[in-house]
Amino acid sequence: MLSDEILVRAKIHLFSTENSGKETAITSGYRPNHAFQKPERPNQLKSYIGEIRFDKPDFILPGESAEVNVAFLNIDEIKKYIKPGQKWFIYEGTKFFGEGEIVSI
């Protein structure tokens, strides 16, 4: 772990293609937008940088869940959200396609 990141263990769930429009798997190293508050309009999305890192398997498909490591960029603004039980929303651009919950830090 680098000093410029906060590493958490989290459970993530990707919505099905029918519910999200996302058709492809996500793999280790993927960096979607992570938002801790859902915006009223997609163009108002306040998101944070975070890289998803899988153990095994090294990918999940739409409709699946997995426990993963997420490395968030260590900035003051995000620290208030980094606690076990904290849930967040996962976006690709402005497309909402999954959710996460911090299991441990």
Buried b (16+ CB within 10 A) or exposed e, 22-59: beeebeeebebbbbbeeeeeeeebebbebbbebeeeee
- In the chain, what are the domain boundaries? 5-104
Looking at CATH, the fold of the domain delimited by 5-104 is given as Elongation Factor Tu (Ef-tu); domain 3 (2.40.30)
pLDDT at 24 over 80: yes
pLDDT tens digits, 54-83 = 998 899 999 999 999 999 999 999 999 999
Model's pTM, two decimal places? 0.91
